[in-house]
Structure 1
């Protein structure tokens, strides 16, 4: 129930902000009353909604991550393992030149970890208890370095901006297509959008959204190579290769991460072919080979 409430409240807030901003800019409706569209107003409207959604998600990312994964933040280490984890993250963060992140452990038998947060000095890194149980300290340290690399590289903000741009153009072109179909196919000459407009816009958003997701996921995969490179610089390539080899050996274990956090984890169930275009992570074999060649893209 709370999840539905937050979803509706967030979308209502976006709509209100978009309406107020359009009024302040003196822009009228996106339809000109004669069957055409006010393209400047439409572009601004789409940009506001597209970027607002992305940035709201970014600013709420830590809150959502903690609740979505059941992450327990280590406020005061309760045992030697937690103390070691805190000390390791503190050392890596200092070497990477970022503020000390919050450190957490989330319940999952799968070996995984993630980083999120809206800036370099206000982030969260977390590791699954399954990874802590099965990985060696050297491998866990390399994984933490990978996540610190995401934070230091500003990957969360970069993906937010990319997502905002693609959101904007998906909405923009979907509405242009919807207006064209409404007039040309449904023969709507009323000057106002009809049923055909809304139906065509929805279908266009679905198709364009899939194409846009391919672009976003390509950037996400390149970001993984950069985070691996950061880990290699912080801990040595050997530790990162060993961690990835261990992940490859455990690929049969499902990756239990909420959909919105998969792009921020170190591990994801990779696929080949067309489905691979929609994966947030490149195949482990490619990442291992890049580290061995020293070519981190």
Structure 2
């Protein structure tokens, strides 16, 4: 990863009128689900976002935006490459001090959950690899945090917060949860006694999935990370399992390792895998299918997930 760090270190020193293309920086390693963009908050704390959910970086002052009034979280709407994009200030959402606008340099353009979101940040530090087994779950201490870890920035080891992107999405677009449940009303029950195994570190996504499974009359087990799912396989026979559903970005063991563990065991050859993720990288999707997943479904689209479950269940 050294060349990626070299490519983005000192990014704030770039000419301000140049667009910063993150996609070009990560293309050579696009299938690495452990790649994170590190940025600094107004509190000087380091935060991280998985690059699979990021399209590019943009210079904040270059964006023409219509301001929003009456919404505490949304700054406005900008036309980015022909797509109307909601713009939010990360510090405002997270609860940090709001700085003078001139101190905010970049917009992280993210595309997940069927929504484009421009996240305004003070400064980007680097792109680093964060292995899942180095992450510690911190969601009980802070609902906006998925986990915490340590990263090396400029020869210095520092604490870093990996924030809950799903929580951000649900906070910004506050009708998503209700709409997702409304969309599941037409989904029919599934006639099976087998178990669906579902792994996702976000408690908000697990809650939504539990509501879907209940409507479908499914038996299921929920796991906060991939390792818990894999460890639990010894407690059930392969013929008891109807389907695996896994997120990609999780602590301890991520979704790619879950797929590898399942597909290296021939006992589960007949059981399908759905990847439930908000990644924006198409190349990564191709890689996951090649690794043994049957389908990739975007998060919070409960109708699409329900329809895929009906098709994929064995």
Q: Report the TM-score, using the length of structure 1 for normalisation.
A: 0.23
Query: Which structure features the higher share of strand residues?
Result: 2
**TM-score normalised over the length of structure 2:** 0.22
Task: Tell me: higher relative CO, structure 1 or 2? Use CA pairs within 8 A at least 6 residues apart.
Answer: 1
